[in-house]
Chain A
């Protein structure tokens, strides 16, 4: 580790900058809370702070916490987050870690697919999204009912649809907390960091045929 002449860690120098006093305390808390920071809305000053001190912060987090600060989607639409998943030797006690519920992850991938791979670029209505997930994907329906509505799926009742809707809504609320989306009543608008739901499973998606082969 690099030390400067005072014997202090070189990358800690960002803390002596005036903007660190203004932003670091909060942005550190946001990042640890799982929030993704992009150049958008009230996140802009934090994003710029991260962009400016990126080289130092990229050393700071692994050194003290064993987790990595990452910037994805390089270019103008990038976003920052703390990647807890690479932290095999992470120093954050397990009791303080939290996972995204798997049912929300499923909804996230399906929503991402609907918007991007199917070109519904202007889909902004939660109720419309719920309707699409419920009705437009016959091949997903059985699994959604089994996992999300947590019932057998042999008999289709309204109740299942309502439960699926509720899971979709809760998923979006969680995404909002992560900074992935804007949400206002029936309106939702994914931010660039919603791409994270895609990138986090990138490896598995690329290897999916191989994985499926093991199950046959």
Chain B
């Protein structure tokens, strides 16, 4: 087992151990005694917040019936209970021989009391939210302070924030339960009860509104959290869980509103129903009457329920008139083909291009002519000075590219055929009109 595994604390396992659960959650009698002691401390009944074993025994006895007190074992029996309570709830000081509360015992009672009391203090929420925001603002600097904010400041207030919301929902639950038939029937003045519930719910709605206002600050806390830029996985997870918590708070508040919105109109209808208390019973008899005397009749293929003649059918609507819509089938009537766009020929450009093209053909022919002429001369004289001919062509055609192309075509041809030979004398330069060319001579064997 490595170190990390050793450190993992398993709450479920730990709490399930034989005596631990029993010591954490006392049974009813012990719990009542503990609560009495707690209230005694809250009300300053005990000096220095310490109490004696005798105090505890008296409280235990108070929870017992006369019969139970008769048995001689009572004291030792309760002694065992006190011993169990000493694990988490109470601690005993041998010097003063008095008991005091352990932290767990205090918190246990405090939470139970607050939950039942439903201390609803939206102003407190507002203060908590603003201070959380300020603390977060101050903590933004480093990851360490940020972690402290999550683990110390936030965790500290978390239960208070949550408790307020739970409280409102529980109030609605209670109000709605009061309107159940059995509760209403037992009540001496059901109309008054209904009125009270209606007022209670209005009060809840007002509180919810207060709570929503108190929680507005959480929006900016969420925003601040989402803007935190961190690579730290742990921090990111913390951010995510807190943003989710605030989101869930907001959505709980919204859903409480929605819940109330849905209940209230129904309560109005209930008021109407209660103006005639007989009406509910009459409705029940009406249903039974229908179920007993309605008949089944076969109409075409189906059996239909037919009401007794005293009860009319409910005419509710027109059958939907059938509007016939004409829809053009696209396959049957294909869309008309688009007009082809005609382009005006640009005669000027056409002419220019024609001239260029014509010249290219002419040049090609001119070059061919010159090449043929040179080859004929070569066959005749067996030797031709190409440099001289180059300048001759240049002079006659006045076109550098014609002369050059003809010149190279001849060289190319002479290289590829065995009967010709090309001699280039790089020491003998032929110059004319700013152009210099090596003396090039073609020969035929």
Question: Footprint of B on A, CB under 8 Å?
Answer: 32-35, 75, 77, 82, 84-85, 87, 92, 95-103, 105-106, 109-110, 112-113, 115-122, 139-140, 142-144, 146-148, 150, 178, 189-190, 192, 195, 198, 200-201, 204-209, 211-212, 214-215
Contacts and interface: CB of A to CB of B under 8 A. Distances in A.
A192 B317 contact: no
A211 B308 CA distance: 10
B441 interface: no
A96 B179 contact: no
Given A117-B283, A150-B296, A102 B305 contact: yes
A204 B310 contact: yes
Nearest to B270: A116
Interface string B302-319: 011111101111111111
Given A113-B284, A205-B282, A205-B286, A33 B266 contact: no
A35 B285 CA distance: 29
Contact of A102 (B273, B304, B320): B304
Contacts of B249: none
Interface of B: 176, 179-181, 183-184, 259, 262-263, 265-270, 273, 279-280, 282-294, 296, 303-308, 310-321
Q: What are the nearest 5 A-B pairs in CB distance?
A: A143-B291, A34-B317, A84-B315, A119-B179, A117-B280
A82 B181 CA distance: 33
B269 A96 contact: no
B305 A106 contact: yes
A85 B269 contact: no
Contacts of B180: 118-120
B177 to A, nearest CB: 9
A118 to B, nearest CB: 4
13 contacts: A32-B318, A35-B317, A99-B313, A113-B287, A117-B284, A118-B180, A118-B181, A119-B180, A119-B184, A120-B180, A144-B291, A192-B269, A209-B282
A34 B408 CA distance: 98
B317 A113 contact: no
A143 B288 contact: yes
A33 B288 contact: no
B307 A102 contact: yes
Given A113-B283, A140-B291, A206-B282, A33 B317 contact: yes
Contacts of A204: 286, 310-311
Contact of A109 (B287, B293, B320): B287
A76 to B, nearest CB: 8
B311 A201 contact: yes
A116 B273 contact: yes
Contacts of A32: 317-318
A54 B287 CA distance: 34
A110 B287 contact: yes
B317 A98 contact: yes
Contacts of B308: 211, 215
Contacts of B313: 99-100, 102
A30 to B, nearest CB: 10
A110 B287 CA distance: 7
Nearest to A90: B315
Contact of A101 (B282, B305, B311): B305
A140 B289 CA distance: 10
A100 B283 contact: no
B168 to A, nearest CB: 15
B176 A121 contact: yes
Nearest to A77: B265
B279 A178 contact: no
A105 B314 CA distance: 8
B181 A117 contact: yes
A129 to B, nearest CB: 15
Given A106-B291, A205-B279, A200 B314 contact: yes
Contacts of A146: 291, 296
Contacts of B283: 109, 112-113, 117, 198, 205
A102 B319 contact: no
A213 to B, nearest CB: 11
Given A102-B306, A113-B280, A147 B291 contact: yes
Given A102-B313, A147-B305, A212 B285 contact: yes
Given A117-B280, A122-B176, A102 B294 contact: yes
A58 B397 CA distance: 104
B294 A117 contact: no
Contacts of B307: 102, 105
A95 B286 contact: no
Most chain B CB inside 10 Å of its own CB: which residue of A110, A140, A204: A204
Contacts of B183: 119
A103 B290 CA distance: 10
Contact of B291 (A101, A142, A206): A142
Output the residue of A84, A100, A140, A147 with the most chain B CB within 10 A: A147
Contacts of A140: 287-288, 291
Contacts of B292: 143
Contacts of A95: 319
A140 B284 CA distance: 10
A209 to B, nearest CB: 7
B178 to A, nearest CB: 8
B320 A33 contact: yes
Contacts of B262: 122, 189
Contacts of B290: 106, 109, 143
Nearest to A194: B269
Contacts of A211: 289, 308, 310
